[in-house]
Amino acid sequence: MNFVIRRIRKETVRFEKKGRPGNIKVGILIPMPYSAAVNSLFFQTSYEYINSLEGAVAYRYVYDVKNDILEALDMETNFNSLDAILISLSFELDYVVLARILDKLGLLHRYKGYKKPILIAGGIAVTSNPLPLSGIVDAVVIGEVDDILEDLVYTVGEDNPLNHLENFYCISTLPIRDRVRRCFTKDLNRAPHSVNQFYDMDEEPVYGYGMRIELSRGCPYLCAFCMEGHIQHPFRYRAMEVVWRMIEKGLGNSITKKVIFYSLALFSVPFMDRLIEKLIENSIKASLPSLRVDHITKERLESIRELGQRTVTIAPETLVKSLACSIGKCYDIGHLENIISESLRCSFEHVKLYLITGFPKLDLNEEINEFKRILSKLSWVKKARFLRIVLNPLIPKPWTPYQFLPPAAVLNLAENINKYYKEARKFTFVRIESYNHKWAFAQAVIAQGNEEISDLIINWGRYGFSLNGFYRALRSLNKESTSFIYHGWEELPWYKFIDMGLPIDYFKMRYHYLIN
Ligand code: SF4
């Protein structure tokens, strides 16, 4: 079977822009299945935006993981006719999928060199540490692309685009030689945002149908484990009038009267309560992201239910009071218990609770005792599986104070996870799921990797996307390349190449505070 197939879906929107000879042809690749890829606002926005530019045409590609097939959603299936491929990578494990795709297309940078199509990757994971992508893509964008997207498209249309790409201060070819400064969009109101969003009418997206809206970027809380909060700093939000105009325009094309908000700190947006009221008045449904405990009130819970949301998602991350405030998640445990009770009264079907285990110096018994305590306190809840616990191991990510922990720290967390399961099983109103600590370890290895880890990524892509494939690829690396995995870095490699605009001392000082 062919690796690339053209798959024309029954979509809400498709730009049938006829490419002419001489047009700039830009591929947009999201290495995920279609139903997940459509959640990417970069995917939605860049497709609409590039097609709106004179002399430029965009073609979309997604990856069907199950069948190992690359789907071309528009006309173009010949990658060699493209000027560039823009690739969005939010998670470190996406690098492995990308490496497999490029390898199969014969486009891995290590074999293709800097010939067209120029492969340019960006996204949260890439911004934090692009080094493991060396040998895989040609160039990376560090930070936010909104303000440079137009110039970037016209630049890749030139004959020797690489000569010009490094004129963008936040773009670097790989391997990186000089320090790259992060781009960030000062005024979100002027940043492009798609309003004509595409979905397959026969395949519901992962977060359901509805118009995706990015309300804000960054987060004022800078929680100690949170990479997004740090690398998207500072907190910015769109004006309410701008958001409302987008909603009015976008819902005209949408198949449901529903918006799905993207925001790291939704109720830090000052007009959020007013916006919710307006949505309710106009009978528009909405889906909200996970919320901080201290942001939830009884009134807000009622409004969220009125918006049609059936599950309320809360992210306390820890139940241990002494730790909560130091990591940036200060809240009152009694308030959390009240929210859970109140959610049942408001007829929510579920409360979803995000927890993290593995904070250094936190006694596991203390953690489990707090867990037991809250479950016993709520044991009067009779609704089966009402409380859904999502337990994640702490993954030490670059640009967080926990970046000084070695990836192997994650491997010690199997016992923690088992203890949580043991307690949760005693109550029918609780359901627990957790992210496998070995996958978390693999993620940490890539997140903290340097250029040499690109060998692991490429080999893992070849062996297949399983844990066996990861360990096999890991074994093929020499001892020196893997020493950081067990002992941490003496000098963090990403510090040398990325200027995130954050004071470097802050990370070390906060880490010492947290572990003492
Ligand atoms: S509140 Fe959430 S998004 Fe903001 S820094 Fe903390 S964990 Fe990250």
pLDDT tens-digit readout, 441-479: 999 999 999 999 999 999 999 999 999 999 999 999 998
How many angstroms separate the alpha carbon of residue 59 from the centre of ligand 1?
34
Q: Do the Cβ atoms of 84 and 57 come closer than 8 Å? A: no
Q: In DSSP terms, which residues pair with 61 in a beta bridge?
A: 29, 72
Predicted TM-score (pTM) of this structure:
0.96
Q: Find, among 456, 461, 62, 16, the residue nearest to 196 by Cα.
A: 16
Each residue's pLDDT, cut to its tens digit, for the chain (516 residues) gives: 789 999 999 999 888 787 788 899 999 999 999 999 999 999 999 999 999 999 999 999 999 999 999 999 998 889 999 999 999 999 999 999 999 999 999 999 999 999 999 999 999 999 999 999 999 999 999 999 999 999 999 999 998 898 899 899 999 999 998 999 999 999 999 999 999 999 999 999 999 999 999 999 999 999 999 999 999 999 999 999 999 999 999 998 677 899 999 999 999 999 999 999 999 999 999 999 999 999 999 999 999 999 999 999 999 999 999 999 999 999 999 999 999 999 999 999 999 999 999 999 999 999 999 999 999 999 999 999 999 999 999 999 999 999 999 999 999 999 999 999 999 999 999 999 999 999 999 999 999 999 999 999 999 999 999 999 999 999 999 988 899 999 999 999 999 999 999 999 999 999 999 998
Of all protein residues, the one whose alpha carbon is nearest to atom 4 of ligand 1 is 219
Q: Is residue 318 included in any domain, yes or no?
A: yes
Q: Is residue 342 included in any domain, yes or no?
A: yes
Rounded-to-integer distance, Cα 142 and Cα 125, Å: 10
| Helix (H) or strand (E) run with residue 228 in it | helix 227-231
Domain span including residue 355: 290-294+301-400+408-435
User: Within this chain, do residues 175 and 305 fall inside the same structural domain, yes or no?
Assistant: no
Q: Name the residue of 221, 288, 296, 510 whose CB sits within 8 Å of the most ligand 1 atoms, as the mutation to test its pocket.
A: 221
How many angstroms separate the alpha carbon of residue 316 from the centre of ligand 1?
10
CATH code for position 342 = 3.30.750.200
Q: Do the Cβ atoms of 457 and 99 come closer than 8 Å? A: yes
For ligand 1, residues with CB inside 6 Å are 219, 221-223, 226, 228-229, 264-265, 292, 328
- Cα radius of gyration rounded to whole Å, the chain: 23
Q: Is residue 416 included in any domain, yes or no?
A: yes
How many angstroms separate the alpha carbon of residue 274 from the centre of ligand 1?
23
Q: Is residue 472 included in any domain, yes or no?
A: no
Q: Tens digit of pLDDT for each residue in 419-432? A: 999 999 999 999 99
Q: Is residue 509 included in any domain, yes or no?
A: no
Of 181, 207, 222, which residue constitutes the final position of a domain? 181
User: Within this chain, do residues 318 and 172 fall inside the same structural domain, yes or no?
Assistant: no
Q: Do the Cβ atoms of 344 and 378 come closer than 8 Å? A: no
CATH code for position 13 = 3.40.50
Q: Which atom of ligand 1 is nearest to the CA of 225?
A: 7
Q: Name the residue of 124, 217, 228 whose CB sits within 8 Å of the most ligand 1 atoms, as the mutation to test its pocket.
A: 228
How many angstroms separate the alpha carbon of residue 143 from the centre of ligand 1?
18
Q: Is residue 227 included in any domain, yes or no?
A: no
Q: Is residue 413 included in any domain, yes or no?
A: yes
Q: Tens digit of pLDDT for each residue in 291-350? A: 999 999 999 999 999 999 999 999 999 999 999 999 999 999 999 999 999 999 999 999
- Number of structural domains (the chain) is 2
Q: Which atom of ligand 1 is nearest to the CA of 230?
A: 5
